[in-house]
Each structure stands twice: as C-alpha cells, then as structure tokens.
Amino acid sequence: MSPQPDRPAISLVSKVLSSAVRLWLRSQVESVEQLDFQIEGGDRQILGGCIPKVAIAALRAVYQGLHLSQIDLTGEMIRVNLRQIVQGKPLKLLAVVPIHGSLLWDETDLNASLKSPLLTNALAEFFLTWLKEFSDLLPEDLAQAIKDPMTLQEAQAVLHDNQATLKVEWRSTPPISTTLRTGLSLVSGSRLKLEQPQLFTCVADKISSTQLQDYELELGTDVELQEFRVELGKLWVQGQINVLP
C-alpha cells in the first residue's frame, strides 16, 4: 500500500493555495464588491499541482473595463505552479482552463462596459464591417461617410424583452449617429443572430430608417454559449469560455 500524504502538510498546502487563488482572482479584476470561491479536490491532485475544481461567485466585478453585475463560474482541472506558490511566488496557470457558468449584466453595468476600450474597439469594428456589407441599402450620406475612417465616440444600450437598442455616436464630419434596434437569438454556441435589424441614421440632422436583413455574428472559437437571454434591463449569458495561461 502506498503511503498516505501527511495531513498537516496537506492542510498547510491547501491554505497557501487558497490564499494564492484569492490573490490571483483579485489581481485579475480592477474592483469587486463581493468575491467568494471554493476549492474542491483530493489531496494527491492538489499536491500534484492540479486543482480539480474551483467555484467562483462575485458581485459588481470590473474586469478589463467590463462591468459585470453578477458572476457564477466553475473551472475544473486547473494546473498551477504549486511548487512556486509554496515558496511565496504568485499563482500562474500552466494550461488553458475551460470555465463554465453564467454572467449577468444589468443595463447600467452594460453601458459602463461599452466605455471600455475592449468593447469600444470590437463594437466599432463590427458596426463598420456590417454597414459596409449593406452599403447599397444605406442612405447615401451614410454609405458615403463609412468609406472614410470613423471613430466610435459613445455607445449606449437599452435592453427590452428579446430585443436591444444600441445608439452609437460617431466622431466624424459631418456628425453621424446610428441607432440599431434588433432582436437577438443564439444560433449556435459561438454565433448570435440579429433578427429583423432596423437602422436609424442621423447625418447632419437628416434622419432616415433602413430595414436590414438578419445577420449572424461570430463570437470566436474560445466561446461556447448554451443560453443567451435579453430581458427588460438585463442581459444573461450562460456557457463556457477558455481562459488562456
């Protein structure tokens, strides 16, 4: 029979690991109102540098400028640098970690997130690419304007049941604002559909409306959603994402 791990040593390693995990989680966010986590696993796995399961719950967390109202996530089989951790070094991930769970944005936090460079750049790229695909359907002023570089100045979202409205102000000459009203549905784990999107455009105080075709939006290979739901004032997402080391 192989010798059993020493329990006092295991207890010490678990305490050190828990402290390292807490420090690492807090280092990943700019701020958080409430953070709870729980480590689960056998002694041998933990001593081998593998955390079988970590459950994380947080309220009002800010990650890379994204304001997240509520987080409930679980990561499994997480490989970390245990030897360095017990020597007082920071925790590091040694392999990709699949994280599954749910995220909730309320409308206030979503609009705060839209001010982050991460979402601002992604939103501008999506909007301009999308509009250019339908340039032949757009008002002449807008079709002409998107041929030149345009910078997103401000974006604001309003969430309804199964529908969203997104108003974007562009830094351009002449001044341009676009408002997209669309239904949203999940096509597959990494694709969302804009359903019956309607675009309202204001160019130099001239307002027009354009009905566009349904459009599918690719979220990326590291995303696998099971549910995507828009409610009055809330956006709720459930699925899996890969966290890279």
What is the C-alpha R_g of the chain? 23
167 vs 133 pLDDT, higher one? 167
Element containing residue 111 per DSSP (H, E):
helix 107-113
Is the per-residue pLDDT at 6 higher than 70? no
Strands of 31-40's sheet in order across: 31-40, 50-63, 66-79, 97-106, 234-243, 223-231
pLDDT score at 1:
46
- The percentage of the chain sitting over the pLDDT mark of 90, rounded to a whole number, equals 50
How confident is the model over 141-165, as pLDDT tens digits? 788 878 777 889 999 999 999 999 9
- Computed over every residue of the chain, the mean pLDDT equals 88
- Read off the pTM: 0.86
Is the per-residue pLDDT at 130 higher than 50? yes
Distances (CA, A) of 187 to 176, 179, 228: 31, 23, 10
CA dist., res. 133 & res. 143, Å (int):
10
